[in-house]
Amino acid sequence: MTATKAPSEPRSQQAVRRPGDRIFAGSAKASGVFILLVLAGVAAFLVSEAVPALTAPAEDVPGGEGLGAYVAPLVLGTLLGAVLALLVATPLAVGIALYVTYYAPRRVAATMGYVIDLLAAIPSVVYGFWGLAVLAPALVPFHVWAADTLGFLSFFAGPASTSGRTMFTVGLVLAVMILPIISAISREVFSQAPALHREAALALGATRWEMIRMAVLPYGKSGVIGGAMLGLGRALGETMAVAIVLSGGAGATLNLISSSNPSTIASNIALRFPEATGLGINTLIASGLVLFVITLAVNMLARWIVNRRADFSGAN
């Protein structure tokens, strides 16, 4: 920044800084760097506590078949629940976002957005309560119906669970939980769609839907994708709701509606950690490390997509 080509007077660029400024700027910078260190620390400490499980002989790891065999079904369960949640939540969230930005009466739109945001404020343990007490029993008839009519799909192979505490129910609970984050980001990008384009579309005689299809959706597409990825990240790491609702087993199966479901990494940790000892703890931390890596990758990809949009839209 300074003195790139100032051979005659290098001194003039050397700004004098007061002690107060130096201390303040220094501590601000230190805070920023500290955050980077924390993130690195999260990775480092998890690795250091996971190492014993990585190096232990296979038969000592819980399950007796080594870390890979222990974590694999959990990864499957984690992905299964999160992807199901994503598939349910994304179209709904886009609909909500469109409703709030372009369909709802102007006066109540802000309030409606706020009400949707309230969904995000409810603690996940409460979602667990609701899923267990309300949603799971309510979905039992659907489970039976799905096993009867959709049984040819491996997802609905049955036999149907009689409690409803299945991966399918978990997916719906997670969908409700990630709905606000996807709809919030979608709402933001939809409302930022250039007014010029929107008005141009309307001036050409487009109906409201045609205006949205022509001017809003193309503009907001990558924002929606990024928001969905963030929602996916949230769903992957969600713990308490899954731990309470799911009656998890060890089996690795794609079956969403039977009583034997693979558990998820996060809920498995929450359920077993309080009683775990010794190598059990290390194994759980190692599985947490796997979850950390997966969510980190998903989030980085999501942020990259969202930020790329910001770069191109010229909106800052």
Partner 1 sequence: MSTDTRPAAPAPVQPRGPVRVERRLPRLAPLGLYLAGVALGAGLSALTGSSLSSTVVYGVVLGTLAVFLASRLVEGRRKATDRLVTCLVTTAFGVAMVPLVSLVWTVLDNGLARFDATFFSNSMFRVVGEGGGAYHAILGTLVITALATVISVPIGLMTAIYLVEYATGRLKRAITFFVDVMTGIPSIVAGLFAFALFTLLFGNDVRLGVMGAVALSVLMIPVVVRSCEEVLKLVPNELREASFALGVPKWRTIVKVVLPTAIAGLGTGVTLAVARVVGETAPLLVTVGLITGTNLDPFDGRMATLPVFAYYQLTQPGTDTQAFLDRAWTAALVLIILVMALNVVARLISRFLAPKTGH
Partner 2 sequence: MAKRIEVSDLDIYYGDFKAVEGVNVAIEPRSITALIGPSGCGKSTFLRSLNRMHEVIPGARVEGKVVMDGQDLYGADVDPVNVRRQIGMVFQRPNPFPTMSIYENVLAGNRLNSKRMKKAEADDVVERSLRGANLWNEVKDRLDRPGSGLSGGQQQRLCIARAIAVEPDVLLMDEPCSALDPISTLAIEDLMTELKDRFTIVIVTHNMQQAARVSESTGFFNLNGVGQPGRLIEFNPTEKIFSNPDEKATEDYISGRFG
Q: Which of 67, 74, 85, 100 binds partner 1 (CB under 8 A)?
A: 100
Closest CA to 219 of 244, 265, 188: 188
Q: Write out the binding residues for partner 1, residues 195-234 only, by CB under 8 A.
A: 205, 207-210, 212, 214, 230, 233-234
308's tokens: 């790329």
CB of residue 147 vs partner 1: minimum separation in angstroms? Answer: 18
Q: Write out the binding residues for partner 1, residues 260-279 only, by CB under 8 A.
A: 266, 269-270, 273-274
For every residue of 156-222, DSSP letters joined together read: G-SPPPSS--SHHHHHHHHHHHHHHHHHHHHHHHHHHS-HHHHHHHHHTT--HHHHIIIIIHHHHHH
Q: Which is nearer to partner 2, 2 or 55 (CB)?
A: 2
Q: Quickly list H helices, the chain.
A: 19-55, 66-98, 106-121, 124-130, 136-149, 167-192, 195-203, 208-211, 217-237, 240-245, 265-272, 279-313
Q: Write out the binding residues for partner 2, residues 17-46 only, by CB under 8 A.
A: 17-18
- Piece of the chain touching partner 1 by CB under 8 A; list 53-61, 129-137, 162-170, 245-253: 129-137
Q: Write out the binding residues for partner 2, residues 249-278 only, by CB under 8 A.
A: none
**106 makes contact with partner 2 (CB under 8 A):** no
**42 makes contact with partner 1 (CB under 8 A):** yes
Per partner kind, with CB cut-offs from 5 to 8 A, the member of partner 2, partner 1, none near residue 299 is: partner 1
Binding site for partner 2 (CB under 8 A): 1-4, 6, 8-9, 11-18
